[in-house]
Amino acid sequence: MKPKDTAEHFILSSSPHAHADSSVSRIMLDVIIALLPTTAAGIWFFGLPAVWTVATCVATCIVTEALCRMAMKRESTIGDMSAIVTGLLLALNLPAGLPLWMAVVGSVFAIGVAKQVFGGLGMNPFNPALAARAFMLISFTGPMTTWLKPLWWKTPEAMTTATPLALMKGLYAVDCTASATPHARHALEELPSLCDMLVGNMPGCIGEVSAAALALGAVYLLWRKVITWHIPVAFIATVVVYSLIAGGAPAYAQVLTGGVMIGACFMATDYVTSPTTSAGKLVFGFGCGLICMLIRQFGSYPEGCSFAILIMNALAPLINRWTRPRPFGAK
């Protein structure tokens, strides 16, 4: 029936019809701002090698995204700043001093394979930065597990050293008291102090060493309502409980070293690759923490955070299905 000329006309588009005061570019900008403290800490402790790694990853990701969108004859998405976030996150998950050509290869993989092959932002099943890190760890195992000492330019001795996770690897199910084995006692003595773990004065990836800087960024994201508390709290709580049960290294050391903090607050909370329901986020965080600790204790590699999150990324659609709310009265 043709409407009368005096009738009001409404044009309806697809849902959602109510929009929050946010956008992809605004969210990505918030993530970049939240990552600035840990980036600054990494640059302070590891110097120019960290600067070049960050710059190389970010620049390569931007160029790769532009070329991929041109090759696919699709609209450019450089303006949403998601490529910058991917490059920054990848760089912060790499050791300082990594050969720059490896950083270029990893960045191309993150954007070209882990993101654009699936159609771009919003359609990738795995976190692009973590997928690239896993690819690089398998492909370049030696350089990816070589760590600069913090403030290495001030020390005349060797520039590289073992990470706290490597020291803690053999401590599970060991009585870490005065009667413990000499190896266990030595490993405990070599661990950084709690203050060093908080500040970042320890070897590791560029963006994972300073727990205080990561916590500051996480608080900003929570204040901006970019993330919710569910995944970080479930992730970290699971690591703490597992550590208390398994024994070995102190629980605070398991949380403050390695990728737990940056993984729980910045990687596992990725909108695209994590569940959308509150219950699903709790399940997701629990799974990440459990798998991470299982790999740390029983795996051949001392760190399991990246692989844990990637495994849970694959399960996110199922978790969404299991935890989706049911309409009242529906079977």
pLDDT for res 158:
52
Q: Is residue 7 part of a domain?
A: no
Dig out the tokens for 65 from the structure: 């995204």
14 inside domain: no
Distance, CA of 234 to CA of 220 (rounded, Å): 19
Domain co-membership, 178 together with 78: no
Residues 243 and 111 in one domain: no
Domain identity same for 76 and 173:
no
Residue 11 lies in a domain: no
- Pairing between β-strand 160-161 and β-strand 147-148 as defined by DSSP bridges: antiparallel
The pLDDT value recorded for residue 179 is: 46
186 and 310 inside one domain = yes
Amino acid found at 2: K
- Please report, in tens digits, the pLDDT of each residue of the chain (331 residues total): 555 555 556 655 544 555 556 788 899 999 999 999 999 999 999 999 999 999 999 999 999 999 999 998 888 888 889 999 999 999 999 999 899 999 999 999 999 999 999 988 888 999 999 999 999 999 998 899 888 888 766 665 556 666 777 766 656 544 444 445 555 555 566 777 888 889 988 888 999 999 999 999 999 999 999 999 999 999 999 999 999 998 777 888 889 988 999 999 999 999 899 999 999 999 999 999 999 999 988 887 778 899 999 999 999 999 999 988 777 666 6
Residue 5 in domain: no
Shared domain check, 106 and 53: yes
Rounded CA-CA distance 298/6 in Å is 74
Q: How far apart are CA 206 and CA 229, in angstroms?
A: 24
SS3 labels along the chain? CCCCCCCCCCCCCCCCCCCCCCCHHHHHHHHHHHHHHHHHHHHHHHCHHHHHHHHHHHHHHHHHHHHHHHHCCCCCCHHHCHHHHHHHHHHHCCECCCCHHHHHHHHHHHHHHCCHHHCCCCCCCCCHHHHHHHHHHHHCHHHHCCEECCCHHHCCCCCEECCHHHHHHHHCCCCCCCCCCHHHHHHHHHCCCHHHHHHCCCCCECCCCCHHHHHHHHHHHHHCCCCCCHHHHHHHHHHHHHHHHHCCCCHHHHHHCCCHHHHHHHHCCCCCCCCCCHHHHHHHHHHHHHHHHHHHHHCCCCCCHHHHHHHHHHHHHHHHHHHCCCCCCCC
All residues at 6 or more sequence positions from 302 whose CB lies less than 8 Å from its CB, including other chains: 163, 165, 166, 168, 169, 258, 296
Q: Residue 16 domain-assigned?
A: no
Please say which residue of 97, 115, 144 terminates a domain: 144
- Same domain (yes/no): 184, 313: yes
Residue pair 304/296 in contact by the 8 Å Cβ criterion? yes
**Pair 69, 123 in one domain:** yes
Rounded Cα distance between 239 and 248, Å, is: 13
For 176, half-sphere exposure in the C-beta direction (CA atoms, 13 angstrom radius) is 20
Q: Could you tell me the residue range of the domain that residue 200 belongs to? A: 160-323
pLDDT value at position 66?
93
Indicate whether 129 and 65 sit together in one domain: yes
- What pLDDT shows up at residue 177? 46
- Tokens in use for 288? 């990440």
The reported pLDDT for the residue numbered 145 is: 87
Asked whether residue 314 falls in the same domain as residue 171, the answer is: yes
Residue 172 within a domain: yes
Among residues 93, 116, 144, the one where a domain terminates is 144
In a domain, 152, yes or no: no
Q: Which of 253, 282, 302, 20 is nearest to 137 (CA)?
A: 302
Asked whether residue 316 falls in the same domain as residue 191, the answer is yes
Domain boundary among 82, 109, 144: 144
Checking phi first, is residue 54 left (phi over 0); if not, alpha (psi -120 to 50) or beta? alpha
Domain identity same for 170 and 130: no
Identify whether 155 is part of a domain.
Answer: no
Q: Which of 243, 169, 165, 245 has the alpha carbon at shortest distance from 203?
A: 165
Q: Do 281 and 317 belong together in one domain?
A: yes
Report the number of distinct structural domains present in the chain. 2
